[in-house]
Amino acid sequence: MKKLLKIFAALSVSSAILVGQVLAQSETVLKYMAWSDSELELEQPMIAAFEAANPGVKVESSAMPPKDYWPRLSALAAAGDLPDVFWMSSGFIQSWQADGQIDNIADKVSGIKEAEWYGGAISVARLAGGVYSFPKNWVAPVLYYNTKMFDAAGLEYPNSNWRYDDFLKAAKALTLDTNNDGTSDQYGYWVYGRYAHIEPWVFRNGGRLLNADRTKLEPNAAALEALQFVTDLANIHEVAPKPEMMDGIRQQDVFPMGMAAMWVDGSWNIDGVRKTAGPDFSFGISQIPMGPSASKGNAVGYAWSDMMSVAPTSKQRDLSWKFIEHMTGPGNKVENFGGGKVPAYRPIAESEAWLERDQYPKNKEVILEIGLGQTTTSFTPNWSKWRGYAASAGGGMNGELDEVLNGRKSLQDAVDAFVEYGNSVLAGN
Protein backbone atom coordinates (compact mmCIF):
# COMPACT_ATOMS: atom_id res chain seq x y z
CA MET A 1 0.00 0.00 0.00
CA LYS A 2 2.82 2.38 0.93
CA LYS A 3 4.50 1.55 -2.35
CA LEU A 4 1.32 2.42 -4.26
CA LEU A 5 1.03 5.71 -2.39
CA LYS A 6 4.61 6.58 -3.30
CA ILE A 7 3.94 5.78 -6.94
CA PHE A 8 0.73 7.85 -6.86
CA ALA A 9 2.57 10.78 -5.26
CA ALA A 10 5.34 10.59 -7.83
CA LEU A 11 2.79 10.52 -10.64
CA SER A 12 0.99 13.52 -9.14
CA VAL A 13 4.21 15.52 -8.98
CA SER A 14 5.10 14.55 -12.53
CA SER A 15 1.64 15.51 -13.73
CA ALA A 16 1.87 18.88 -11.99
CA ILE A 17 5.24 19.54 -13.58
CA LEU A 18 3.89 18.49 -16.97
CA VAL A 19 0.83 20.73 -16.60
CA GLY A 20 3.06 23.61 -15.55
CA GLN A 21 5.25 23.06 -18.58
CA VAL A 22 2.23 22.97 -20.88
CA LEU A 23 0.84 26.17 -19.34
CA ALA A 24 4.23 27.84 -19.63
CA GLN A 25 4.45 26.79 -23.26
CA SER A 26 0.94 28.10 -23.97
CA GLU A 27 1.65 31.50 -22.37
CA THR A 28 2.40 34.27 -24.88
CA VAL A 29 5.02 36.71 -23.67
CA LEU A 30 5.03 40.29 -24.96
CA LYS A 31 8.17 42.25 -24.14
CA TYR A 32 7.75 45.98 -23.48
CA MET A 33 10.45 48.57 -22.75
CA ALA A 34 10.20 52.21 -21.61
CA TRP A 35 12.59 55.01 -20.65
CA SER A 36 10.90 56.06 -17.40
CA ASP A 37 10.54 53.93 -14.26
CA SER A 38 7.99 56.32 -12.78
CA GLU A 39 5.81 56.38 -15.89
CA LEU A 40 5.99 52.61 -16.26
CA GLU A 41 4.85 52.30 -12.64
CA LEU A 42 1.80 54.44 -13.49
CA GLU A 43 1.10 52.15 -16.44
CA GLN A 44 1.02 48.94 -14.40
CA PRO A 45 -2.79 48.96 -13.89
CA MET A 46 -3.24 49.37 -17.65
CA ILE A 47 -0.84 46.50 -18.32
CA ALA A 48 -2.71 44.33 -15.82
CA ALA A 49 -6.00 45.21 -17.52
CA PHE A 50 -4.55 44.20 -20.89
CA GLU A 51 -3.42 40.85 -19.51
CA ALA A 52 -6.84 40.28 -17.94
CA ALA A 53 -8.56 41.02 -21.26
CA ASN A 54 -6.18 38.70 -23.10
CA PRO A 55 -5.92 35.41 -21.16
CA GLY A 56 -2.64 33.61 -21.74
CA VAL A 57 -0.73 36.84 -22.44
CA LYS A 58 2.04 37.97 -20.12
CA VAL A 59 3.59 41.43 -20.60
CA GLU A 60 7.21 41.56 -19.48
CA SER A 61 7.92 45.24 -18.91
CA SER A 62 11.18 47.01 -18.09
CA ALA A 63 12.33 50.61 -17.83
CA MET A 64 15.47 52.63 -17.30
CA PRO A 65 16.53 56.31 -17.50
CA PRO A 66 16.98 57.77 -21.02
CA LYS A 67 20.78 57.86 -20.63
CA ASP A 68 20.73 54.08 -20.25
CA TYR A 69 17.69 53.36 -22.42
CA TRP A 70 19.12 54.28 -25.81
CA PRO A 71 22.45 52.42 -25.44
CA ARG A 72 20.57 49.37 -24.16
CA LEU A 73 17.99 49.52 -26.95
CA SER A 74 20.76 49.92 -29.53
CA ALA A 75 22.57 46.87 -28.14
CA LEU A 76 19.37 44.82 -28.33
CA ALA A 77 18.83 45.97 -31.92
CA ALA A 78 22.38 44.95 -32.86
CA ALA A 79 21.76 41.52 -31.32
CA GLY A 80 18.42 41.12 -33.11
CA ASP A 81 16.69 40.90 -29.75
CA LEU A 82 14.53 44.03 -29.54
CA PRO A 83 11.46 43.95 -27.28
CA ASP A 84 8.17 43.56 -29.14
CA VAL A 85 7.06 47.08 -28.19
CA PHE A 86 9.31 49.94 -27.11
CA TRP A 87 9.16 53.70 -26.68
CA MET A 88 10.41 55.89 -29.51
CA SER A 89 11.41 59.57 -29.54
CA SER A 90 10.64 62.05 -32.30
CA GLY A 91 14.33 62.96 -32.17
CA PHE A 92 15.51 59.45 -33.05
CA ILE A 93 12.75 57.89 -35.15
CA GLN A 94 14.37 58.94 -38.45
CA SER A 95 17.61 57.12 -37.64
CA TRP A 96 15.84 54.02 -36.37
CA GLN A 97 13.58 53.88 -39.41
CA ALA A 98 16.51 54.35 -41.80
CA ASP A 99 18.35 51.50 -40.06
CA GLY A 100 15.35 49.19 -40.44
CA GLN A 101 14.88 48.76 -36.70
CA ILE A 102 11.19 49.69 -36.43
CA ASP A 103 8.25 48.09 -38.18
CA ASN A 104 5.97 49.86 -40.65
CA ILE A 105 2.53 49.74 -38.99
CA ALA A 106 0.68 51.77 -41.63
CA ASP A 107 -1.74 48.87 -42.20
CA LYS A 108 -2.69 48.95 -38.51
CA VAL A 109 -2.92 52.73 -38.20
CA SER A 110 -5.24 52.88 -41.22
CA GLY A 111 -7.92 51.27 -39.08
CA ILE A 112 -8.13 53.98 -36.41
CA LYS A 113 -10.64 56.83 -36.29
CA GLU A 114 -8.19 59.63 -37.09
CA ALA A 115 -10.54 62.36 -35.85
CA GLU A 116 -10.00 61.00 -32.33
CA TRP A 117 -6.26 61.63 -32.49
CA TYR A 118 -4.02 64.67 -32.93
CA GLY A 119 -2.86 64.44 -36.53
CA GLY A 120 0.42 66.24 -35.90
CA ALA A 121 1.36 63.68 -33.27
CA ILE A 122 0.95 60.90 -35.83
CA SER A 123 2.60 62.80 -38.69
CA VAL A 124 6.01 62.69 -36.95
CA ALA A 125 6.00 58.93 -37.59
CA ARG A 126 5.02 59.19 -41.27
CA LEU A 127 8.30 58.43 -43.00
CA ALA A 128 9.25 56.94 -46.38
CA GLY A 129 5.62 56.25 -47.26
CA GLY A 130 4.89 54.37 -44.06
CA VAL A 131 3.97 54.88 -40.41
CA TYR A 132 6.72 53.68 -38.11
CA SER A 133 5.37 54.37 -34.62
CA PHE A 134 2.20 55.50 -32.89
CA PRO A 135 1.94 58.42 -30.43
CA LYS A 136 1.07 58.10 -26.79
CA ASN A 137 1.50 61.78 -25.97
CA TRP A 138 2.84 65.00 -27.48
CA VAL A 139 4.29 68.30 -26.31
CA ALA A 140 4.80 71.80 -27.70
CA PRO A 141 6.82 74.84 -26.60
CA VAL A 142 4.69 77.67 -25.21
CA LEU A 143 5.28 81.17 -23.89
CA TYR A 144 5.16 81.07 -20.08
CA TYR A 145 4.34 84.35 -18.34
CA ASN A 146 4.20 85.50 -14.71
CA THR A 147 0.72 86.96 -14.22
CA LYS A 148 1.61 88.91 -11.07
CA MET A 149 4.46 90.67 -12.86
CA PHE A 150 2.14 91.55 -15.73
CA ASP A 151 -0.48 92.82 -13.29
CA ALA A 152 2.07 94.95 -11.43
CA ALA A 153 3.18 96.52 -14.72
CA GLY A 154 -0.43 97.13 -15.81
CA LEU A 155 0.03 94.99 -18.92
CA GLU A 156 -2.43 92.73 -20.71
CA TYR A 157 -1.49 89.07 -20.76
CA PRO A 158 0.03 87.59 -23.94
CA ASN A 159 -2.36 86.03 -26.44
CA SER A 160 -2.10 83.94 -29.59
CA ASN A 161 -2.31 87.02 -31.84
CA TRP A 162 0.75 88.70 -30.34
CA ARG A 163 3.48 89.82 -32.72
CA TYR A 164 7.17 90.27 -32.02
CA ASP A 165 6.58 93.99 -31.39
CA ASP A 166 3.93 93.26 -28.75
CA PHE A 167 6.30 90.89 -27.02
CA LEU A 168 9.23 93.32 -27.08
CA LYS A 169 7.12 96.16 -25.70
CA ALA A 170 6.05 94.00 -22.77
CA ALA A 171 9.57 92.64 -22.20
CA LYS A 172 10.93 96.18 -21.93
CA ALA A 173 8.24 97.17 -19.42
CA LEU A 174 8.95 94.06 -17.36
CA THR A 175 12.73 94.53 -17.17
CA LEU A 176 13.40 96.32 -13.89
CA ASP A 177 16.32 97.63 -11.85
CA THR A 178 14.44 97.95 -8.59
CA ASN A 179 17.40 99.06 -6.46
CA ASN A 180 18.93 101.41 -9.05
CA ASP A 181 22.34 99.73 -8.98
CA GLY A 182 22.63 99.71 -12.76
CA THR A 183 21.89 95.98 -13.07
CA SER A 184 18.48 94.53 -13.85
CA ASP A 185 17.15 92.28 -11.10
CA GLN A 186 14.00 91.36 -13.02
CA TYR A 187 14.18 90.55 -16.71
CA GLY A 188 11.37 90.55 -19.21
CA TYR A 189 12.53 87.28 -20.77
CA TRP A 190 14.93 84.37 -20.41
CA VAL A 191 16.47 82.44 -23.32
CA TYR A 192 19.48 80.39 -24.31
CA GLY A 193 20.41 78.34 -27.37
CA ARG A 194 18.40 75.21 -26.65
CA TYR A 195 16.12 73.89 -29.40
CA ALA A 196 12.85 74.40 -27.48
CA HIS A 197 13.81 78.02 -26.74
CA ILE A 198 14.77 78.91 -30.32
CA GLU A 199 12.91 76.95 -33.00
CA PRO A 200 9.41 78.08 -31.97
CA TRP A 201 10.34 81.67 -32.86
CA VAL A 202 11.57 80.50 -36.26
CA PHE A 203 8.44 78.52 -37.11
CA ARG A 204 6.07 81.24 -35.89
CA ASN A 205 7.78 83.63 -38.31
CA GLY A 206 7.23 81.35 -41.31
CA GLY A 207 10.86 80.28 -41.15
CA ARG A 208 12.59 76.98 -41.77
CA LEU A 209 16.05 75.67 -40.86
CA LEU A 210 16.23 72.75 -43.29
CA ASN A 211 15.64 72.18 -46.98
CA ALA A 212 12.47 70.41 -48.11
CA ASP A 213 13.79 66.85 -47.75
CA ARG A 214 15.70 67.65 -44.54
CA THR A 215 19.06 66.65 -45.92
CA LYS A 216 20.73 70.05 -45.50
CA LEU A 217 20.65 73.01 -43.16
CA GLU A 218 19.42 75.97 -45.21
CA PRO A 219 17.97 78.65 -42.91
CA ASN A 220 15.73 80.93 -44.97
CA ALA A 221 15.40 84.71 -44.56
CA ALA A 222 12.48 84.35 -42.13
CA ALA A 223 14.55 81.99 -39.96
CA LEU A 224 17.47 84.42 -39.87
CA GLU A 225 15.06 87.24 -39.02
CA ALA A 226 13.76 85.22 -36.05
CA LEU A 227 17.25 84.35 -34.83
CA GLN A 228 18.26 88.00 -35.03
CA PHE A 229 15.23 89.06 -33.03
CA VAL A 230 15.83 86.50 -30.27
CA THR A 231 19.55 87.20 -29.90
CA ASP A 232 18.94 90.96 -29.93
CA LEU A 233 16.80 90.53 -26.81
CA ALA A 234 20.00 89.95 -24.82
CA ASN A 235 22.50 92.02 -26.80
CA ILE A 236 20.60 95.09 -28.02
CA HIS A 237 17.45 95.47 -25.96
CA GLU A 238 18.91 93.94 -22.77
CA VAL A 239 15.53 92.54 -21.75
CA ALA A 240 17.05 89.08 -21.31
CA PRO A 241 20.18 88.16 -19.35
CA LYS A 242 23.15 86.67 -21.15
CA PRO A 243 23.21 82.90 -20.51
CA GLU A 244 26.57 83.16 -18.74
CA MET A 245 24.95 85.45 -16.17
CA MET A 246 22.85 82.49 -15.05
CA ASP A 247 25.77 80.11 -14.49
CA GLY A 248 25.01 77.87 -11.55
CA ILE A 249 21.25 78.16 -12.00
CA ARG A 250 19.37 75.46 -13.87
CA GLN A 251 17.85 76.96 -17.01
CA GLN A 252 14.40 75.63 -16.09
CA ASP A 253 14.52 77.42 -12.71
CA VAL A 254 15.03 81.00 -13.91
CA PHE A 255 11.33 81.61 -14.63
CA PRO A 256 9.78 79.89 -11.58
CA MET A 257 12.34 81.60 -9.33
CA GLY A 258 10.89 84.94 -10.47
CA MET A 259 14.04 86.16 -12.23
CA ALA A 260 12.27 86.60 -15.59
CA ALA A 261 8.67 87.46 -16.45
CA MET A 262 8.50 85.36 -19.61
CA TRP A 263 10.12 82.21 -20.93
CA VAL A 264 9.64 79.85 -23.87
CA ASP A 265 10.06 76.13 -23.27
CA GLY A 266 8.20 72.88 -23.70
CA SER A 267 4.77 72.35 -22.24
CA TRP A 268 6.22 69.43 -20.25
CA ASN A 269 7.82 72.00 -17.94
CA ILE A 270 4.43 72.94 -16.49
CA ASP A 271 5.04 70.25 -13.89
CA GLY A 272 8.53 71.56 -13.23
CA VAL A 273 7.30 75.13 -12.69
CA ARG A 274 4.65 73.92 -10.25
CA LYS A 275 7.17 71.88 -8.26
CA THR A 276 9.85 74.58 -8.18
CA ALA A 277 7.63 77.60 -7.47
CA GLY A 278 4.82 75.97 -5.51
CA PRO A 279 1.05 75.89 -6.05
CA ASP A 280 0.53 79.60 -5.41
CA PHE A 281 2.85 80.71 -8.23
CA SER A 282 0.50 82.43 -10.68
CA PHE A 283 1.41 81.89 -14.32
CA GLY A 284 -0.23 81.48 -17.69
CA ILE A 285 0.77 80.23 -21.12
CA SER A 286 0.32 81.48 -24.66
CA GLN A 287 1.36 80.60 -28.17
CA ILE A 288 4.70 82.00 -29.33
CA PRO A 289 4.36 85.51 -30.84
CA MET A 290 4.34 85.76 -34.63
CA GLY A 291 7.10 87.59 -36.47
CA PRO A 292 6.97 90.20 -39.24
CA SER A 293 7.25 87.53 -41.95
CA ALA A 294 4.42 85.47 -40.50
CA SER A 295 0.96 85.00 -41.92
CA LYS A 296 -1.90 82.80 -40.82
CA GLY A 297 -0.77 80.30 -43.44
CA ASN A 298 2.91 80.01 -42.61
CA ALA A 299 3.08 80.66 -38.84
CA VAL A 300 3.09 77.08 -37.60
CA GLY A 301 3.47 75.47 -34.22
CA TYR A 302 6.39 73.36 -33.07
CA ALA A 303 5.19 70.06 -31.61
CA TRP A 304 6.36 66.48 -31.38
CA SER A 305 5.32 63.20 -29.83
CA ASP A 306 6.58 60.36 -27.67
CA MET A 307 5.65 57.15 -29.43
CA MET A 308 5.47 53.38 -29.22
CA SER A 309 7.15 51.22 -31.84
CA VAL A 310 6.93 47.59 -32.90
CA ALA A 311 10.15 45.68 -33.52
CA PRO A 312 10.51 44.35 -37.07
CA THR A 313 11.66 41.06 -35.49
CA SER A 314 8.56 40.70 -33.29
CA LYS A 315 6.72 37.40 -33.67
CA GLN A 316 3.68 39.00 -32.03
CA ARG A 317 2.91 41.78 -34.52
CA ASP A 318 -0.89 41.73 -34.16
CA LEU A 319 -0.70 41.44 -30.39
CA SER A 320 1.87 44.26 -30.27
CA TRP A 321 -0.49 46.60 -32.12
CA LYS A 322 -3.38 45.54 -29.90
CA PHE A 323 -1.23 46.43 -26.88
CA ILE A 324 -0.31 49.84 -28.37
CA GLU A 325 -3.98 50.62 -29.06
CA HIS A 326 -4.82 49.72 -25.47
CA MET A 327 -1.98 51.77 -23.97
CA THR A 328 -2.56 54.91 -26.02
CA GLY A 329 -6.33 55.04 -26.47
CA PRO A 330 -9.51 55.03 -24.38
CA GLY A 331 -8.02 52.72 -21.76
CA ASN A 332 -5.48 55.34 -20.74
CA LYS A 333 -5.82 57.61 -17.72
CA VAL A 334 -5.36 61.36 -17.24
CA GLU A 335 -3.11 60.57 -14.27
CA ASN A 336 -0.51 59.16 -16.69
CA PHE A 337 0.08 62.58 -18.29
CA GLY A 338 1.85 65.03 -16.03
CA GLY A 339 1.27 68.76 -16.47
CA GLY A 340 1.81 69.70 -20.08
CA LYS A 341 2.20 66.26 -21.63
CA VAL A 342 -0.81 65.99 -23.91
CA PRO A 343 -2.55 62.65 -24.51
CA ALA A 344 -2.49 61.85 -28.23
CA TYR A 345 -6.04 60.55 -27.82
CA ARG A 346 -8.21 63.67 -28.02
CA PRO A 347 -11.12 62.69 -25.73
CA ILE A 348 -8.69 62.40 -22.80
CA ALA A 349 -6.78 65.58 -23.69
CA GLU A 350 -9.95 67.62 -24.04
CA SER A 351 -11.43 66.43 -20.76
CA GLU A 352 -11.84 68.77 -17.80
CA ALA A 353 -9.65 66.42 -15.79
CA TRP A 354 -6.66 67.05 -18.07
CA LEU A 355 -7.29 70.80 -18.31
CA GLU A 356 -6.81 71.09 -14.50
CA ARG A 357 -8.52 74.45 -14.13
CA ASP A 358 -7.95 74.33 -10.38
CA GLN A 359 -4.18 74.75 -10.94
CA TYR A 360 -1.89 77.14 -12.80
CA PRO A 361 -1.85 77.64 -15.68
CA LYS A 362 -5.61 77.88 -15.91
CA ASN A 363 -5.54 78.03 -19.72
CA LYS A 364 -3.98 74.73 -20.80
CA GLU A 365 -6.34 74.72 -23.79
CA VAL A 366 -3.70 76.90 -25.47
CA ILE A 367 -1.62 73.74 -25.96
CA LEU A 368 -4.55 71.98 -27.59
CA GLU A 369 -4.97 74.92 -29.99
CA ILE A 370 -1.39 74.34 -31.14
CA GLY A 371 -2.08 70.64 -31.67
CA LEU A 372 -5.19 71.32 -33.73
CA GLY A 373 -3.28 73.69 -36.01
CA GLN A 374 -0.45 73.02 -38.41
CA THR A 375 2.73 71.87 -36.68
CA THR A 376 6.25 70.94 -37.69
CA THR A 377 9.62 69.84 -36.28
CA SER A 378 13.28 70.10 -37.24
CA PHE A 379 14.18 66.48 -36.50
CA THR A 380 16.54 64.56 -38.80
CA PRO A 381 18.89 61.61 -38.46
CA ASN A 382 21.67 62.71 -36.07
CA TRP A 383 19.60 65.72 -35.05
CA SER A 384 21.02 65.70 -31.52
CA LYS A 385 24.54 66.09 -32.90
CA TRP A 386 24.05 69.03 -35.27
CA ARG A 387 21.56 70.74 -32.97
CA GLY A 388 23.73 70.41 -29.88
CA TYR A 389 21.47 68.44 -27.56
CA ALA A 390 22.12 66.50 -24.35
CA ALA A 391 25.75 65.31 -24.39
CA SER A 392 26.40 67.50 -27.45
CA ALA A 393 25.03 70.67 -25.82
CA GLY A 394 28.36 72.48 -25.89
CA GLY A 395 28.54 72.46 -29.68
CA GLY A 396 26.35 72.55 -32.75
CA MET A 397 23.60 75.13 -33.13
CA ASN A 398 23.02 75.32 -29.36
CA GLY A 399 26.59 76.29 -28.57
CA GLU A 400 26.90 78.72 -31.46
CA LEU A 401 23.74 80.60 -30.48
CA ASP A 402 24.92 80.77 -26.88
CA GLU A 403 28.06 82.48 -28.15
CA VAL A 404 25.86 85.07 -29.85
CA LEU A 405 23.63 85.53 -26.79
CA ASN A 406 26.74 86.00 -24.66
CA GLY A 407 27.94 88.73 -27.02
CA ARG A 408 31.06 86.88 -28.15
CA LYS A 409 30.08 86.16 -31.75
CA SER A 410 28.03 87.76 -34.52
CA LEU A 411 24.89 85.96 -35.61
CA GLN A 412 26.18 85.60 -39.17
CA ASP A 413 29.41 83.96 -38.01
CA ALA A 414 27.45 81.62 -35.75
CA VAL A 415 25.03 80.67 -38.54
CA ASP A 416 27.91 80.02 -40.93
CA ALA A 417 29.57 77.80 -38.33
CA PHE A 418 26.54 75.71 -37.37
CA VAL A 419 25.41 75.33 -41.00
CA GLU A 420 28.84 74.06 -42.05
CA TYR A 421 29.07 71.71 -39.09
CA GLY A 422 25.45 70.58 -39.39
CA ASN A 423 25.73 69.78 -43.08
CA SER A 424 28.84 67.74 -42.38
CA VAL A 425 26.83 65.76 -39.83
CA LEU A 426 23.87 65.34 -42.19
CA ALA A 427 26.22 64.13 -44.93
CA GLY A 428 27.40 61.39 -42.59
CA ASN A 429 30.87 62.79 -41.96
Same structural domain, 190 and 285: yes
| Within a domain: 371 | no
Angstrom distance (rounded) from CA 88 to CA 133: 7
- Give the per-residue pLDDT at 6: 46
Same structural domain, 178 and 237: yes
Q: What are phi and psi of 8, to 5 degrees?
A: -60, -40
Same structural domain, 163 and 131: no
Same structural domain, 220 and 240: yes
Lowest-confidence segment of 10-14, 65-69, 132-136, 364-368 by average pLDDT: 10-14
129: left (phi over 0), alpha (psi -120 to 50) or beta: left
| Within a domain: 362 | no
Question: For the chain, what percent of residues have pLDDT higher than 90?
Answer: 88
| Within a domain: 409 | yes
Same structural domain, 117 and 206: no
Beta strands 85-89 and 262-266, pairing class: unpaired
Question: For the chain, what percent of residues have pLDDT higher than 70?
Answer: 93
Same structural domain, 390 and 246: yes
Hey, what amino acid is at 224? L
Q: What is the CATH number of the domain that holds 194?
A: 3.40.190.10
Farthest CA pair distance, the chain: 104
- Give the per-residue pLDDT at 296: 80
Same structural domain, 156 and 223: yes
- Give the per-residue pLDDT at 25: 54
- Give the per-residue pLDDT at 395: 72
Angstrom distance (rounded) from CA 168 to CA 177: 17
| Within a domain: 88 | yes
Helix, coil or strand: residue 67: helix
| Within a domain: 253 | yes
Q: Report the pLDDT averaged over residues 19-32.
A: 69
Same structural domain, 288 and 311: no
Give the range of the structural domain holding residue 214, as residue numbers without chain letter: 141-302+382-426
DSSP state of 240: S
| Within a domain: 15 | no
Same structural domain, 263 and 188: yes
Same structural domain, 156 and 273: yes
The answer to whether 286 and 157 are in contact (CB under 8 A) is yes
DSSP state of 261: S
- Give the per-residue pLDDT at 8: 41
Same structural domain, 33 and 102: yes
> Which residue, 421, 379, 381, 378, is CA-closest to 397?
421
Same structural domain, 284 and 325: no
- Give the per-residue pLDDT at 182: 86
Predicted structure pTM score: 0.91
| Within a domain: 315 | yes
Domain total in the chain:
2
- Give the per-residue pLDDT at 24: 46
| Within a domain: 369 | no
Burial of 189 (0-12, 13-18, 19+ CB in 10 A): buried
